[in-house]
């Protein structure tokens, strides 16, 4: 797999798949295919039309608006494994992601700057995985464009690590969560998140 950074700051996909979509960009279809492969798509509870219908909007749980993937809802669908950053090429368009009640071991949301709501509750994620999600969002917090983004990452997932201690540079999961929800220096350089752990 080869990825190049485009002039607009996004990833230009150099992977080649036999699948050619008719309603979204090839890079978006490739991202969904990588996500499918990384999360055991062949064993999903429902994968209706995935990898077979050239209209990606017809794929189970995928919503296409204006020629781009804007929503993914695969709640309770037997997703298993490390999703990692497979969805990063959807950064400019994906606003809603629901992968709750599955068995994901990792999920990188840091590049998905258009997110309004991300739900990954009840995946049994480890403390390290939850901390990594929070750290990723915290590190890219100024890039997110929604006025009131929301992250739901509780349930059977482990609680964020560490204890909260006010410091200029957070270093624990609890501190990342706190900083995402509170702009201590009131400089307004990022939109505050609602985080449910």
CATH code assigned at 181: 3.80.10.10
Side by side, the strands of the sheet bearing 62-65 are: 62-65, 68-73, 96-98, 117-119, 150-152, 194-196
How many CB atoms are closer than 10 A to CB 185? 8
Residues of the chain with pLDDT > 70, as a percent, come to 89
Nearest-angstrom CA–CA distance, 106 and 111: 14
Q: Is the pLDDT of residue 3 over 90?
A: no
Looking at residue 187, its pLDDT comes to: 74
Kindly state the DSSP code that residue 171 receives in the 8-state scheme: -
pLDDT of 10: 42
Q: Mean of the per-residue pLDDT values for the chain?
A: 90
28-46: average pLDDT:
98
Structural domain of 59: 3-196
Residue 177: name the closest of 142, 133, 144 by CA.
Answer: 133
Q: What angle do CA 79, 82, 85 make, to 5 degrees?
A: 110
* 135-188: pLDDT as tens digits: 999 999 999 999 999 999 999 999 999 987 776 688 899 999 999 998 776 777
Residue corresponding to tokens 């990452």? 153
Please give the tally of structural domains in the chain: 1
Tokens representing 91 are: 């950064």
Distance linking the first and last C-alpha atoms of the chain: 34
CA 56 to chain centre: 18
């Amino acid at each position: 797999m080869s990825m190049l950074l485009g002039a607009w700051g996004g990833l230009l996909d150099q992977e080649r798949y036999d699948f050619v979509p008719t309603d979204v960009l090839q890079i978006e279809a490739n991202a969904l295919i990588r996500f499918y492969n990384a999360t055991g798509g062949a064993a999903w509870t429902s994968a209706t039309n995935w990898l077979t219908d050239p209209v990606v909007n017809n794929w189970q749980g995928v919503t296409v608006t204006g020629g781009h993937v804007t929503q993914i809802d695969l709640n309770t669908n037997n997703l298993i494994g490390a999703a990692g950053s497979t969805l990063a090429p959807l950064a400019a368009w994906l606003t809603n992601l629901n992968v709750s009640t599955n068995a994901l071991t990792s999920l990188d949301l840091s590049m998905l700057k258009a997110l309004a709501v991300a739900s990954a509750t009840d995946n049994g994620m480890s403390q390290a995985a939850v901390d990594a999600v929070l750290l990723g969002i915290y590190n890219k917090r100024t890039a997110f464009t929604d006025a009131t983004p929301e992250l739901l990452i509780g349930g059977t997932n482990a609680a964020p690590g560490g204890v909260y201690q006010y410091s200029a540079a957070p270093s624990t999961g609890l501190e990342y969560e706190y900083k995402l929800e509170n702009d201590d220096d009131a400089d307004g350089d990022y939109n505050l998140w609602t985080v449910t752990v």
